[in-house]
Amino acid sequence: MSGINAVTTNAPKGGVRYERVTVREDGPVGLSPIYTGICGTDRGMVLGHLDFSYNPDKQDFIVMGHESICRVTSADSKTGFREGDIVVPVVRRPGGCINCRTGRQDNCSDGKKHEAGITGMNGFMRESFTDSPEFLVKVKDPALARVGILTEPLKNVVKVFEVFETVSRRSIYFSEDSTYEGKNAYVIGTGAEGFLFSMMASEYGFNTSILNRHPIDENRLKICDAFGMDFVDSSKGIPDENVDLLIDTSGDPATLLNFIRRMNYNSIAVMFGTNGKAPPADFTGKDIDHIVERNISLVGSVDAAKVHYSRALSYLSRWNSMNAGALSSMITDEKKPSDVSVFTERNPESIKIALDWS
Amino acid sequence: MSGINAVTTNAPKGGVRYERVTVREDGPVGLSPIYTGICGTDRGMVLGHLDFSYNPDKQDFIVMGHESICRVTSADSKTGFREGDIVVPVVRRPGGCINCRTGRQDNCSDGKKHEAGITGMNGFMRESFTDSPEFLVKVKDPALARVGILTEPLKNVVKVFEVFETVSRRSIYFSEDSTYEGKNAYVIGTGAEGFLFSMMASEYGFNTSILNRHPIDENRLKICDAFGMDFVDSSKGIPDENVDLLIDTSGDPATLLNFIRRMNYNSIAVMFGTNGKAPPADFTGKDIDHIVERNISLVGSVDAAKVHYSRALSYLSRWNSMNAGALSSMITDEKKPSDVSVFTERNPESIKIALDWS
Amino acid sequence: MSGINAVTTNAPKGGVRYERVTVREDGPVGLSPIYTGICGTDRGMVLGHLDFSYNPDKQDFIVMGHESICRVTSADSKTGFREGDIVVPVVRRPGGCINCRTGRQDNCSDGKKHEAGITGMNGFMRESFTDSPEFLVKVKDPALARVGILTEPLKNVVKVFEVFETVSRRSIYFSEDSTYEGKNAYVIGTGAEGFLFSMMASEYGFNTSILNRHPIDENRLKICDAFGMDFVDSSKGIPDENVDLLIDTSGDPATLLNFIRRMNYNSIAVMFGTNGKAPPADFTGKDIDHIVERNISLVGSVDAAKVHYSRALSYLSRWNSMNAGALSSMITDEKKPSDVSVFTERNPESIKIALDWS
Amino acid sequence: MSGINAVTTNAPKGGVRYERVTVREDGPVGLSPIYTGICGTDRGMVLGHLDFSYNPDKQDFIVMGHESICRVTSADSKTGFREGDIVVPVVRRPGGCINCRTGRQDNCSDGKKHEAGITGMNGFMRESFTDSPEFLVKVKDPALARVGILTEPLKNVVKVFEVFETVSRRSIYFSEDSTYEGKNAYVIGTGAEGFLFSMMASEYGFNTSILNRHPIDENRLKICDAFGMDFVDSSKGIPDENVDLLIDTSGDPATLLNFIRRMNYNSIAVMFGTNGKAPPADFTGKDIDHIVERNISLVGSVDAAKVHYSRALSYLSRWNSMNAGALSSMITDEKKPSDVSVFTERNPESIKIALDWS
């Protein structure tokens, strides 16, 4: 039987299959995934909600998967990699714009980039594939062979904090002692991205709260404790304090606006989550007043560059050594790749579901 | 008869009087206004719409006026000023926060600053007053004795472009030839601030359009021509092009959101205008998608620092020498200070109304 | 007689001829110089001192000239230019490195760029030539047809101040009132670049001194007065004050080090002038101490990008309207292109020599 | 017998004593050192080489010591600290300048700050002392109770990389894939600071070499291996490659200049080490040429802010968990505080000497 096993969909129509596919490739590095992760984008594609996703040229399907940790199975000696190396492949591939041409396809200026497993390029949920070395990030810490699957979602967080550092230079943002101590960070959403944003805010020294509109489970509370974050059930009220850094992973207009009204002078709100189907909310003249009079910045941010994958690995390495149990418990479920029901069923206690390809 | 003539209101209740007042002061520099300007904030105070305005301590009134160009009438030799110097006084005065303590009260972190003629400090619409030299900006170009009244509104523009330069560093924003040529700037609103923002965008090299929801008069069109801006009557449709820099002086949620949907990758929207009474508009999930997926930044900006007053004077000087007629025609009306009807009546062809104190 | 008249040298050997040359070109914009300027680089080439200069491929000569102001003689309508437009052509042309590919060949990372009239590309001292529109900067102010020849040297100054603004962000550099008032700028050298640097420092609000090791002539003193700079004859002693911004146009090690010992906390020294033949000077352990303990930055800067040419034109326009006589008197000599003796003879009162091609 | 045991000198005269002293203090947090570290500054003071050091007001001695890790022995509940907490006290204390007033006394603008154990303030080499909470950095990772003594030297490194990130924005510094891979960092000096700079350069992704003019011992080589640095014995020749980041911890003019001649386009040299007694070296016209034509930046950097202490602790925590043995072997010697011979004798294999106060 020819071909290899892969998880596929037909973008943007949706559906999901575990099937044998044949895809021609000729990259100088051969790879096999160890784990691939599933996130909201994958679910959205399967449900046919992501209008912007599309199959690769001349294919009536796309191999899914952009979160992964892989093992090198073969490599030309000039690539800088060798068999057995553990790597994370970069998701977004450059087009021809000025940002793409400088390794910053995350800031693509014309939309002509591609994304593995999402837009016009086969993803990583398949027994084997090949790639070019410039798109592979080496994992040096062997302890990350499993939690390293969080590199891809964490790289988004690393970029957001780079954007935060750039934008916050418009005034003196830090506290009187040069640190972020005494500053409040609120992260909306208790999914994997919400937790990774919270961990980073905590790392920076913010008083960090992670919020959701309902109580959370014990596993999530344990992670909060381990990383020094507070959980706030916003359905029961929000503390009466100013927010200096707001990060939204929900994409919900009403939720976002509700917190923008709490934002402090010189504060920064990061819009990361998207949910095109969310109901609209009233944006008022008073909201504009609040943003103007307080010199507030709101920044959208998507994807990240190779440098952010590298730094994400450094953070994971440290968090893993400090709080191994807590970081590891972010991966709540391990499934077989053939178990495609995980794309459509949802357990509220799941944080990150990993498919085990080993 | 003791006291001096002044234009006053009772903040935040409103009303306006030209009356004799006595205000104790002891600054080392004596000043008399040549011209004072009127803007939307002044009108809002007179109408009692500005809840945040308040009288100085132990006064049941506040002298109005924050836009002005003044003549020094007396000065201690140690102040660096001397009789006859022309100056623009700084509006906002520092509180004790970290930004105020570094000369950047425009970025006040706790709201404890004061603003001449608006919040707790008497303004410049009075026959004479005194001030400290650190709050006076010298006007070196004698040709600016009249159009120099635009320094105060223009300083806001200068700060906004400083913020723009900081925030735009989050990606490569400029064009392939290192300039802003080929980039589109849209400025919403055809008041004085709208025009000053447009002139600056044009100065930076943007293809600049100034927009309103109705046709504009001949004087305004003449200014557009002189400074190379296009006028767009948005009620008749908007050009089908991406917006790289959006500046809103309307404070109207519907207008702002309408244009945010046109914003390009890596673009920046500046929120400057405020209008708390404006009707709300729908902020949708798709709007959030658009902002996130394109790495768009939205920044509120208020006031400016002394350094921006200085730079504003440089720009005025050049624009005045290049387009003296056009810049001068921004001041559409000259009135006597006693003619307080100008605060409540409105001529749609007015751009900037100046009170002549000489 | 075929060919066109041009000023040429044989790089890097030197010599200078006014002769007829034939150079094949096919740019879409036809150009004729109005004026070309002469600077130290041109003189150095003629003397055979510039080892790094070289002829274009397959030529045994190079047309000289990188400072110019030109008139468009013909232009394809798609170029955005038309006959009669006045332009300044960009000197440096991109290679393939990451900076060159983003319009910043001034920051070329591998040295593979070219420079008109210096390294491998014919310059502008010829009756006519052609170019591509992306390398032409339009001169909108007709009053600049002569002093616009200063655009090319001034663009270097504009870039240096961009670098200054970036580097000075490593601490709070500005004064307590947010301006540069009270800060001292010292510019070493009274040539054209020295004066242009001084004018810009003055524009920024620095107390600006321009220095040389001997008295200066009346014309130079007049320019100092017009732009508010102090002249310091350093052979008679230097004021006992700290230097916050030092700009060297001499390239002389002893002079540079002498002033570095005067530099203030958080100050910045710009190295712009070069003189490979200058005698060495003692760099001591105490010099290093001084630089380290005061967080001092020293930055080399060469060339500038198209955006800086545009901004240079804005500054020239304003300085010209404010101090027309003074700016114009920077051009001390006008000569015929055939008068090649100007490359080797030197009048100490000359600031900028212009060749008149009209 | 009254007083407490302390290591003292008489600044700037020198000498060293372990003696009983009585110093009045009234900070709200009581502290005892666990370890204090010795560096070149301490040795310089004992030798009487540091002219800028001075005793506290009304004292004829100064308690030495600025590198330390301490235990809280008592704390007012409002301080945020409690008995048993492990902390690192900040060395430099603010004066009144604009940088000091914003928590950045490391960038003091007027030299009026104080430094514990060096300039006008008693240091940490004494059985007990008190301090204010704003100058104490909490050590959260209990594994750092010993290697945490490297926090103080490492905080200098963290600041230098902040300066590097600011200054490097003057052009595109990073490689084509957005990382620092392929860039060469050279660190001059194999003392504790040299190693910490090298570890950080390696962390950033540079090909990192640490250099000295003679072979190094086995312990040092082991650390190089663990952190992926190359050792270069510069007496035997230097690899023929460009240097993108040069960090000097020697303060030696000849060494510094020798490597500046190797620096690449857009590269950055950091001057950190000081040695006022080092012999001068020739700074030539060609050196200036090299710095100018390649847009090179040279930056002095001293001390660091509280935020850098916090980040230093994060790095130590990770490096300790990844390479516990290698990091720990940076502390080559543990001595009793009474053993003051360590200030004057020197073992070439020593990297960091710790005094054990427990």
Distance from C-alpha of C299 to C-alpha of D300, rounded to nearest angstrom: 11
Block residue for tokens 């150095």: C44
Residues 6 or more apart in contact with residue B306 via CB below 8 angstroms: B90, B103, B134, B135, B137, C177, C178, C179
What integer is the mean pLDDT of A86-114?
97
Query: Which of C107, C296, C298 has the CB atom closest to D266's CB atom?
Result: C107
pLDDT at A253 exceeding the cut of 60: yes
The verdict on a CB contact (< 8 Å) between D179 and A306 is yes
Q: Establish if A14 belongs to a structural domain.
A: yes
Note whether C181 and C282 are same-domain residues.
Answer: yes
Q: Contact, D70 vs B69, CB < 8 A?
A: no
Note whether D140 and D181 are same-domain residues.
Answer: no
pLDDT at A324 exceeding the cut of 90: no
Subunits next to A (3 or more Cβ pairs <8 Å) are: B, C, D
Q: What is the pLDDT of residue B2?
A: 75
Note whether C98 and C204 are same-domain residues.
Answer: no
Residue A78 identity: K
Note whether C170 and C228 are same-domain residues.
Answer: yes
Tens digits of per-residue pLDDT, C100-147?
A: 999 999 999 999 999 999 999 999 999 999 999 999 999 999 999 999
pLDDT at B220 exceeding the cut of 80: yes
What CATH number has the domain bearing residue B93? 3.90.180.10
Q: Establish if B283 belongs to a structural domain.
A: yes
Per the structure, the complete domain to which residue C116 belongs is given by 9-138
Question: Count of CB atoms within 10 A of residue C287's CB?
Answer: 20
pLDDT at C167 exceeding the cut of 80: yes
Tens digits of per-residue pLDDT, A16-36?
A: 999 999 998 889 999 999 999
Give the gap in angstroms from C-alpha D83 to the nearest C-alpha of chain C.
Answer: 36
Q: Establish if A165 belongs to a structural domain.
A: no
Distance from C-alpha of A227 to C-alpha of A22, rounded to nearest angstrom: 44
pLDDT at B47 exceeding the cut of 80: yes
Q: What is the pLDDT of residue A346?
A: 84
Query: Which of D104, D177, D307 has the CB atom closest to A103's CB atom?
Result: D177
Q: Contact, A143 vs A321, CB < 8 A?
A: yes
Q: Establish if C309 belongs to a structural domain.
A: no
pLDDT at C158 exceeding the cut of 80: yes
Block residue for tokens 């640095």: D229
Q: Contact, D73 vs D32, CB < 8 A?
A: yes
Q: Which strand ranges, in their side-by-side order, compose the sheet holding D62-63?
A: D14-21, D4-10, D62-63
pTM of the model: 0.96
Q: CA nearest D134: which of D74, D99, D78, D90?
A: D90
Note whether B162 and B133 are same-domain residues.
Answer: no
What number is the ipTM of this complex?
A: 0.97
| Predicted confidence band of residue C214 (pLDDT cuts 50, 70, 90) | very high
What integer is the mean pLDDT of A209-216?
96
Note whether A200 and A137 are same-domain residues.
Answer: no
Beta strand C129-131 with B14-21 is unpaired
The verdict on a CB contact (< 8 Å) between C274 and D256 is no
Tens digits of per-residue pLDDT, A257-314?
A: 999 999 999 999 999 999 988 999 999 999 999 999 999 999 999 999 999 999 999 9
Domain-ending residue, one of B300, B319, B348: B300
Note whether B160 and B291 are same-domain residues.
Answer: yes
Instruction: Give the residue from chain C lying closest to D254, CA to CA.
Output: C283
| Predicted confidence band of residue D1 (pLDDT cuts 50, 70, 90) | low
Distance from C-alpha of B135 to C-alpha of B88, rounded to nearest angstrom: 9
Residues of C in contact with A101 (CB under 8 A): 98, 101-102
Block residue for tokens 């004479």: B128
Query: Which of B102, B205, B322 has the CB atom closest to C310's CB atom?
Result: B205
Distance from C-alpha of A324 to C-alpha of A61, rounded to nearest angstrom: 38
Residues of D with CB under 8 A from a CB of A: 102-104, 134, 141, 172, 174-180, 203, 205, 305-307, 310, 314, 317-318, 321-322
Q: Contact, B113 vs B93, CB < 8 A?
A: yes
Cα D173–Cα D176–Cα D177 angle in degrees, nearest 5: 110
Q: Establish if C78 belongs to a structural domain.
A: yes
Note whether B294 and B179 are same-domain residues.
Answer: yes
Domain-ending residue, one of A273, A294, A315: A294
What integer is the mean pLDDT of D209-236?
96
Distance from C-alpha of D344 to C-alpha of D7, rounded to nearest angstrom: 14
Residues of D in contact with A180 (CB under 8 A): 307
Cα A29–Cα A34–Cα A37 angle in degrees, nearest 5: 110
Block residue for tokens 């070149």: D40
Q: How many domains does chain D have?
A: 2
Q: Establish if A349 belongs to a structural domain.
A: yes
Tens digits of per-residue pLDDT, D97-119?
A: 999 999 999 999 999 999 999 99
Q: Establish if C323 belongs to a structural domain.
A: no
Q: What is the pLDDT of residue A270?
A: 98
Residue B297 forms beta bridges with which residues? A299, B268
Distance from C-alpha of A176 to C-alpha of D31, rounded to nearest angstrom: 23
pLDDT at B301 exceeding the cut of 70: yes
Tens digits of per-residue pLDDT, B113-128?
A: 999 999 999 999 999 9
Tens digits of per-residue pLDDT, D320-350?
A: 988 879 999 999 999 999 999 999 998 999 9
Tens digits of per-residue pLDDT, C294-333?
A: 999 999 999 999 999 999 999 999 999 888 799 999 999 9
Query: Which of A170, A283, A298 has the CB atom closest to B281's CB atom?
Result: A283
Note whether A131 and A13 are same-domain residues.
Answer: yes
Q: CA nearest B40: which of B207, B199, B153, B158?
A: B153
Q: Establish if A211 belongs to a structural domain.
A: yes
Query: Which of A169, A277, A300 has the CB atom closest to B166's CB atom?
Result: A169
Q: Contact, C62 vs C125, CB < 8 A?
A: no
Written as six digits, the tokens of D304 are 């660091």
pLDDT at B25 exceeding the cut of 60: yes
Block residue for tokens 């006028």: B231
- Select the residue from D161, D177, D310 to test the A interface by mutation, using most A Cβ atoms within 10 A: D177
Q: What is the pLDDT of residue B322?
A: 85
Written as six digits, the tokens of B328 are 């001068």
Give the gap in angstroms from C-alpha B246 to the nearest C-alpha of chain A.
Answer: 14
Domain-ending residue, one of C280, C300, C320: C300
Q: Contact, D340 vs D18, CB < 8 A?
A: yes
What CATH number has the domain bearing residue B175? 3.40.50.720
Note whether C66 and C28 are same-domain residues.
Answer: yes
Subunits next to C (3 or more Cβ pairs <8 Å) are: A, B, D
Query: Which of D102, D178, D317 has the CB atom closest to A306's CB atom?
Result: D178
Distance from C-alpha of B106 to C-alpha of B94, rounded to nearest angstrom: 8
pLDDT at A152 exceeding the cut of 80: yes
Residues 6 or more apart in contact with residue C147 via CB below 8 angstroms: C316, C320, C327, C328, C330, C331
pLDDT at A336 exceeding the cut of 90: yes
Written as six digits, the tokens of D109 are 């603008």
pLDDT at D294 exceeding the cut of 60: yes
Residues of B in contact with D101 (CB under 8 A): 98, 101-102
Note whether B108 and B197 are same-domain residues.
Answer: no
Block residue for tokens 């900040």: D90
Note whether C130 and C164 are same-domain residues.
Answer: no
What integer is the mean pLDDT of D73-82?
94
Distance of alpha carbon D304 from the chain centroid: 9
| Predicted confidence band of residue B1 (pLDDT cuts 50, 70, 90) | low
Q: Contact, D271 vs D256, CB < 8 A?
A: yes
Give the gap in angstroms from C-alpha D285 to the nearest C-alpha of chain A.
Answer: 34
